Amino acid sequence: MTILPTCTSQSRCFDGTIGFYRHFSDVCRTEMRFSVYLPPQATGATLPIVYWLSGLTCTEENFMIKAGAQQFAAQYGLILVAPDTSPRNLGLPGETETWDFGAGAGFYVDATTDPWNAHYRMYTYVTEELPALMAAFFPGDRQRQGIMGHSMGGHGALICALRNPDRYRSVSAFAPIAAPMGCAWGQKAFRGYLGTDSTAWQAYDASQIVIHSAWNQPILIDQGTADPFLPQGQLLPEVFEQACAQAGKELILRRQEGYDHSYSFIATFIADHLRHHAMALR
C-alpha cells in the first residue's frame, strides 16, 4: 500500500518546480526523503525520469541546490529525482559513528547483515519503490528512466543500470567508486552490510557486473584529474575501464584536467550528462 509522499517545501525554478518530500518507505521500513524537479513540460503528459544518486554524507538536498541541473532538465523536459543516501535516525549501533558507513552511506545495496538488513535496502528502494512512487504520484514514465550519480552515487547508478537494462535506458556518473571491492570505502561498506564472504559483494561491484551484464548503451563517466580520492585508490576508473573493454561495452570515460571531486566539477559537466540522458530517453 503506497502512501502519498508529504511535500515539505516547494520552490519555482526555471519555470518548473523543485519539491522536497518525505514518506514512509515500505522497503526501508522507515521515513525516507527525496527531492523532485518537475520541468515546465509536466502538464498532463508523462515525462522521462533521470535519477540522481548522491555521494557519502549527502542528503536529498545537495544535488538540487548545487548542481545547476534544473536549467537543462527544463530544456529537455526531464524529471529529476534525488533520494537521500540512506535511512536515518533508526538508533542502530554504529549508525552515525563514521561518515563512510551507516547514515549518509547506504551504498545502494540491500543489506543482509543484522541489524542493517531491516532497513538499509537502498538498492530495492531506488530501483523499485522510487520508480513506483514516480509513476503513482508524479508524471513519471517508468518506461523512460535514466540514472546517474556522484562518487558512492556513481557506483549506485552503475550497478542499478548494469543489473537492470530493462529498467533504465541511460546511465552516467561523476567520479564513481567504480570498483568498490578494490577500495577501502567499498570494502568497509560491503563487509558491514553484506558480511565477510566477498562472493556476495560481486553483485554490487560495477567492474564485476559489467562483464556479464546485458547493458548495451554507452556509459558516460567524467573523472577529474585533480580529484584527491583518485590517487587514494578509492575510485579506480581504470579497473572499470578495463572491465568494459573486456566485456565489449561502450564506455565514454573523460578525464577532466584539473577538476576535483566537488560540485564545481559536477556543475561544469552536468549539461553534457543531461544531454546524454535526454538523447537516450526521448
Residues of the shown chain interacting with a second copy in the complex, contacts defined by CB under 8 A: 11-15, 18, 65-66, 68, 70-71, 224, 226, 258-260, 262-265, 267-268
Task: CB nearer to a second copy: give 63 or 101.
Answer: 63
According to DSSP, the residues that pair with 34 across neighbouring strands are: 21, 83
Q: Which is nearer to a second copy, 184 or 267 (CB)?
A: 267
Q: What gap in Å lies between CA 116 and CA 95, rounded to an integer?
A: 9
Nearest distance from C-beta of residue 98 to a second copy, angstroms: 23
Which 3-state string (H, E, C) describes 105-123? ECCCCECCCCCHHHCCEHH
* Distance in Å, CB of 109 to a second copy, minimum: 30
Nearer to a second copy, 12 or 212 (CB): 12
Dist CA 85 CA 152 (whole Å): 9
3-state secondary structure (DSSP) of residue 23: strand
First-to-last CA distance in the chain?
31
Task: Classify residue 252 by its DSSP letter.
Answer: E
* Cβ-contact 150, 178 below 8 angstroms: no
Cβ of 99: how many Cβ atoms within 10 Å? 11
Nearest approach in angstroms of CB 174 to a second copy is 13
Smallest distance, a second copy to C-beta of residue 128, A: 30
Give whichever of 215 and 229 is closer to a second copy, judged by the CB atom. Answer: 229
Contact assessment for residue 80 and residue 52, using Cβ atoms and an 8 Å cutoff: yes
**All cell numbers assigned to 245:** 573493454
Cα R_g (the chain), whole angstroms: 17
Q: Looking at the chain, how many residues does it have?
A: 282
Task: CB nearer to a second copy: give 13 or 92.
Answer: 13
Whole-angstrom distance, CA of residue 192 vs CA of residue 59: 21
Minimum Å gap between C-beta 259 and a second copy is 5
Which amino acid, 165?
A: P
Indicate which residues carry an active-site annotation: 151, 227, 261
